[in-house]
Amino acid sequence: MSLLIKNGRIITAADDYVADIFIEGEKISLIGKELSIPAGQTIDADGMLVMPGGIDPHVHLDMPFMGTFSSDSYETGTRAALHGGTTMVIDFVLQKQGHSLREALTEWQSRANGNCLGDYSFHMAVTDFNEHTRQEIQTMITHEGITSFKTFMAYKGALMIDDRQMTGLMQEVKKQGGMVTVHATNGDMIDYLVAKHKAEGKLSPLYHYLSQPEVTEAEASARFADMANYTGCPGYIVHLTCEGALNAVRQATRRNQHVFVETCIQYLLLDASRYEQDFDSAKWVMSPPLREKKDQATLWAGINQGLVNVVATDHCPFKWEQKLMGKDDFSKIPNGHPAIEHRMELLYSEGVHKGRITLNKYVEVTSTNPAKIFGMFPRKGTIAVNSDADLILLDPHAQHTITAAGHHMNVDYSAYEGWELQGKIKTVLLRGKVAVNDGECLVEKGYGQFIKRHKVSGKI
C-alpha cells in the first residue's frame, strides 16, 4: 500500500515548504520536489497546508467521574477526534484509592482496547501513593510504555494526594525515567469555599467559578514547581488557566528550572462571563473554571514566549441530562466540556488566521511538543522520513460553522455553537491510511493502536 501527496505546503514546527510526500505502509518514506513514483493512491494537496496529525494529551473518554461517566466512549471520542484532525489522544487511567495501578490499568484497557479509531496512550493517575504503588512505577514505564504519572492536588477523598505522597512519587518517577503531571489547584481551599457558598445558599453555577479563584491555582502551581525542583523530577502542569499560575512557572525559570505547561483551547477563547447566565452556564462548568480576559492575554503571550508548551482540550463531555445532576447544587454538576473535535480548527482560526500565533507554533503546540514531552518523537509529531504518516490537510480558504447538530461527539450541545471558523481540515491520514476525507470517516473501531511511549528526560 503506497500513497503520494502532491504539491502540499508542508508545515512542521520548524519548516514551511512545498513538496511531495511518499508514504509506504504506515510510514513516510520520501519527501521531495515533483516526485514521480507510481503509487496506489495519489492526493492532490495543491493549496492545502499539510501538517502533522494533532496529538491531544489531555482527554477523558468513558471515565467514571462525579457519579457518572463522561459521555464519549473510546469509539465516539476517537472518531470525533479524527474528524477534527487529532490522530492521537492520551487519556487517563485513574487508580482507585486502596487499590493498585495494575488493577486500574486492566479496567481501563477493558474499556479502550479494540474500541479506538485513532491512536491512543494513557497517563497513569496516581491517587494513592504507597510502598506497593512505588514498586509498580518501574513496570508501568518499562513494560507498559506509560511514562507519565498524573496527580491531583484537588478532589480530596477521591483523587487528591498530599504533599508527602507527591514528594515520594516524584522521587520514584525521576529515578525510573518518567514525568509527573498535575492538576494544580489547592483542594482544601476550594473545598472550604464550596462548603461556605453552599451554607450561604449560593448554589448556581456562578459559585463553581467563585469557589476556585486564581489564587487556588497559583498557589498549587508554585508548590508543585517547588517539589519538582527539590526532587529534580520532570514536571508538567495540565490545564493551566491564569496569570498567577503562569507567573509561578515564570518564577521557577529564575532558578533555572523548567516546568512544562499545558493550557486548553477553552482557556484561550472563552471567559468567565459564561457563568453570568442561569443554569445554561453549566455547559462551561469545568475545573479550573474559565478565567478573565487578562488571563487569555497571558496565555497567548505565554505560548509565544515558549512558557506554554501545549494546547490540549481536557475533553470531558457530559450530556445535558448529566449536567442537570447539579441543577440545585453547583457542586454536583459533572465537571468538564466537549472539545476533542474542535481544538485543531479553533486554534487555526482563532490563533493562526487572526495572527496571534505562527503556523510553526501551531504545529509545535498541537503536535510536536506533546510528542516530544511524552516520549513519542519523532515517530509522532512531525513530518519526516520514517515518521508515522499521521497527517492533516487543511484548506485555509474554506469556512465552516460549529454546531451540535453537525459534530461527531456524543454530547447534545456544543460549547462553541454558531462559531464561524476560517480553515477546514479536509483530509486526515493515520499511519498511512486515509482516516477522514471530506467529512467521511473511513476507518473503523479497532484501527487505533495503543502507542507505547519511551522514557522522558524533561528536555525537548
Q: Which residues bind ligand URP (CB under 6 A)?
A: 60, 183, 286-287, 314, 316, 335-336
* Closest distance to Zn ion from the beta carbon of 295 (Å): 17
Residue 234 to residue 108: CA distance in whole angstroms: 25
| Residue with nearest beta carbon to ligand URP | 335
Work out what residue 9 binds among ligand URP, Zn ion, none; the CB cut-off runs from 5 to 8 Å by kind: none
Q: Give the strand pairing for 2-11 and 119-125.
A: unpaired
20/72 with CB nearer ligand URP: 72
Count CB neighbours of 10 within 10 A. 21
* Closest distance to ligand URP from the beta carbon of 183 (Å): 5
Supply 153's cell numbers: 492536588
79/323 with CB nearer ligand URP: 323
Q: Closest by alpha carbon to 158, among 227, 84, 235, 66?
A: 66
Work out what residue 336 binds among Zn ion, ligand URP, none; the CB cut-off runs from 5 to 8 Å by kind: ligand URP
2, with CB counted inside 10 A (0-12, 13-18, 19+), is middle
Residues engaged in binding Zn ion (CB under 5 A): 99, 103, 183, 314
Q: Give the strand pairing for 260-264 and 310-312.
A: parallel
5/137 with CB nearer Zn ion: 137
Q: Give the strand pairing for 391-401 and 310-312.
A: unpaired
Q: Closest by alpha carbon to 188, among 222, 163, 225, 170?
A: 163
362/374 with CB nearer ligand URP: 374
* Closest distance to ligand URP from the beta carbon of 260 (Å): 16
* Closest distance to Zn ion from the beta carbon of 345 (Å): 21
* Closest distance to ligand URP from the beta carbon of 314 (Å): 5
Supply 203's cell numbers: 448554589
123/424 with CB nearer ligand URP: 123
267/362 with CB nearer ligand URP: 267
Q: Where are the beta strands (DSSP E) in 246-350?
A: 260-264, 310-312
CB of 70 within 8 A of CB of 60?
Answer: yes
CB of 53 within 8 A of CB of 428?
Answer: yes
Work out what residue 281 binds among ligand URP, Zn ion, none; the CB cut-off runs from 5 to 8 Å by kind: none
Q: Give the strand pairing for 86-94 and 54-59.
A: parallel
Supply 83's cell numbers: 474528524
Work out what residue 175 binds among Zn ion, ligand URP, none; the CB cut-off runs from 5 to 8 Å by kind: none
Work out what residue 174 binds among Zn ion, ligand URP, none; the CB cut-off runs from 5 to 8 Å by kind: none
Q: Where are the beta strands (DSSP E) in 95-206?
A: 119-125, 148-152, 179-183
Work out what residue 286 binds among Zn ion, ligand URP, none; the CB cut-off runs from 5 to 8 Å by kind: ligand URP
103/276 with CB nearer Zn ion: 103
CB of 3 within 8 A of CB of 389?
Answer: yes
Work out what residue 99 binds among Zn ion, ligand URP, none; the CB cut-off runs from 5 to 8 Å by kind: Zn ion
Work out what residue 296 binds among ligand URP, Zn ion, none; the CB cut-off runs from 5 to 8 Å by kind: none
24/107 with CB nearer Zn ion: 107
312/363 with CB nearer Zn ion: 312
Residue 179 to residue 341: CA distance in whole angstroms: 27
61/428 with CB nearer ligand URP: 61
CB of 190 within 8 A of CB of 160?
Answer: no
Q: Closest by alpha carbon to 216, among 233, 181, 192?
A: 192
**Residues 6 or more apart in contact with residue 305 via CB below 8 angstroms:** none
- Cα–Cα distances in angstroms (integers) from residue 460 to residues 300, 375, 377, in the given order: 21, 10, 10
Work out what residue 335 binds among Zn ion, ligand URP, none; the CB cut-off runs from 5 to 8 Å by kind: ligand URP
